Structure 1
């Protein structure tokens, strides 16, 4: 059940990040991957700042913030604004 919930949160976080960053989404697998990697980056960022994300909503927020950060980094590296 945890794996399915993680994939769902990852997909939702990736989709939300794509919409907030004026994108059109990245497809189902792209959103899931973006959300999962974003969750990793968000977890690192939250730990560095001394914050904790608990529960489903906290995980979704943390993953979304991490996915947005990942999109910003990729756009800067590719030279797109």
Structure 2
């Protein structure tokens, strides 16, 4: 939940939606084809709006700091 809170904080700081912060983070990490799961035309508009969000290195570190990798049960490791 801490990561969700941090996404919310950055969304408020930038004046955008949380999903736009998430997409901006993916693009900053090199993901070029995120799976959006759009079911409405407005979802595409929201996704396109994420292009205007430029996260700083500090923003990215702020989002990633509480992340703890999960054990991959399919392979018996991380």
| TM interval, short-chain normalised | under 0.3
Q: Given the two structures, how large is their TM-score scaled by the length of structure 1? A: 0.25
- Larger radius of gyration, structure 1 or 2? 2
**TM-score normalized by the length of structure 2:** 0.25
Q: Quick check: which one's helix share is greater?
A: 1
